[in-house]
Amino acid sequence: APVLITGASSFIAAHVIDQFLSEGTPVRGVVRSQSSADRVLKVNSQYASLLSFVIVPDITKPGAFDEAVKGVDGVIHVASPFTPKIEDNEKDLLIPAIQGTLQVLESTYKHAPQVKRVIITASFASIVDVSKGFREGYVYSEKDFNPATYDEAKSPDADFGFAYCASKVLAEKAAWKFVEEKKPQFTVTVINPPVVYGPNRHYIDDLDNINTSSGMFYSLMNGSRLEVPPTSFWAIVDVRDVALAHKVAYYKPETAGQRYLTTAGLFSFQQICDILREEFPSLRGRVPVGNPGEPITGVYNVDNTKAKKELGIEFISLRQMVIDTANNFLDIEKRL
């Protein structure tokens, strides 16, 4: 039976899908439109026989996933809005994140008695307390929950970063509450990645119009920046490790009820620029210089012990991630 993967068109889901298809496990992707389904199929043409889709135009509607979950082996919920191109924090971020998660759980609860495992893509955004700034000396881990509230986040005064982080923690908390109250037939594991970069596997036909995190990385190497931008979230992970974490958790019932801060450690945009300039001499004209070698000081740290130990992940280093991501963008530039 297939694994159901929501947000199938996304940067992260592309790698999660690959984890399953490449081992021969069928995947049923949930997307919002046929054109999204077509794009996912295009990059997975060699696995066409293993890949099917359900189109759910509005993931917040009661019963949205009732058909999608029928007969699946398990569920991985990736879909959640992550774009600053929004008009209203509540309508465009909070509701899709929270209601989307609850509808996935509710449909699975009611219409998929066979499902034992549900994995949810949360974020470091649901761990970090943005209101405390860079919190020097503090070590973030799975014990921490971002305390942002719905009312703070829906306010027009809340900036995108704050509202997005709130949408992620409120969706995650809603999922834990659902499990506690309904005691469903399945267990839930949550993956909490911080900033995710890495090679793009999803369909890209326009480099000016890509997902938020890949767009940020690409801006450091496409000549559009004169200055190294200030770093606002200091922890990093490669998308391939995020995908692996989803798969390992999916197959490990011992991870039930757990959340995992999947991170290689701290990074800064300065470090990425330094690595780009060292490893790609041909890009030096496009990458801002800043203060090469500037150390990371005065910020929190992150603890990845649990993810390493319980998921068995050896995190890809920042340098390797930067090299592989930049090579991937250079390939895409050549292709387009």
CA angle 213, 59, 205 (to 5 degrees): 40
Among 3, 4, 5, 12, binds ligand NDP (CB under 6 A): 12
Window 311-330: residues binding ligand NDP (CB under 6 A): none
E strands of the chain, at which residues?
A: 3-6, 27-31, 51-55, 74-77, 117-121, 139-140, 187-192, 195-197, 235-238, 259-261, 265-266, 301-302
Orientation angle between helical segments 34-43 and 11-21, nearest 10 degrees? 50
Active site amino acids:
168
Residues 21, 47: contact at Cβ < 8 Å? Answer: yes
CA angle 235, 299, 216 (to 5 degrees): 40
Minimum separation from the CB atom of position 168 to ligand NDP (A): 6
Contact map string, positions 76 to 95, toward ligand NDP, x by CB under 6 A:
--xxxxx-------------
Q: Is 64 in the site for ligand NDP (CB under 6 A)?
A: no
Residues 20, 247: contact at Cβ < 8 Å? Answer: yes
Orientation angle between helical segments 11-21 and 239-251, nearest 10 degrees? 50
Q: Is 166 in the site for ligand NDP (CB under 6 A)?
A: no
Q: Is 198 in the site for ligand NDP (CB under 6 A)?
A: no
Q: Is 189 in the site for ligand NDP (CB under 6 A)?
A: no
Among 2, 25, 26, 32, binds ligand NDP (CB under 6 A): 32
Among 28, 117, 168, 247, binds ligand NDP (CB under 6 A): 168
Stretch that binds ligand NDP, among 44-52, 147-155, 209-217, 276-284 (CB under 6 A): 209-217
Q: Is 96 in the site for ligand NDP (CB under 6 A)?
A: yes
Residue among 203, 200, 198, 199 at smallest CA distance from 43: 203
Interacting residue ranges for ligand NDP, rule: CB under 6 A = 7, 9-12, 31-32, 36, 59, 78-82, 96, 100, 121, 123, 168, 193, 195-196, 211-213
